[in-house]
Amino acid sequence: MAIYFFSGGGLVTAYSSTEFVKNMRLSSKRHADTDLRYMQDVSERCYLYNDSYIRTTSTDDFLHDLITNDFVYELSTN
């Protein structure tokens, strides 16, 4: 299991990128009906926030891009 820290505050634990997105969506104050719609919303906000392009083609790409663009930090992996 990995522990992820958000640059804006907060933590999510997950065994996979799919579980990361699901847990991120469920802990969010912003409503989205699906994980894909949630990823698209986050991607749009990241672009508006600092011109970061976050792919939504897969949960792996999404998590990788969030980490690469310093929105998410992986604290530990067990």
Phi-psi region of 67 (alpha: psi -120 to 50; beta: other; left: phi over 0): alpha
* Residue showing tokens 């634990």: 13
User: Which domain range does residue 34 map to?
Assistant: 2-77
Nearest in space to 42 (alpha carbons), one of 61, 55, 26, 60: 55
pTM: predicted TM-score of the whole model, two decimal places: 0.93
Q: List per-residue pLDDT tens for the chain, 78 residues long.
A: 999 999 988 999 999 999 999 999 999 888 889 999 999 999 999 999 899 999 999 999 999 999 999 999 999 776
As for how many domains the chain has, the answer is 1
pLDDT at res. 78 = 67
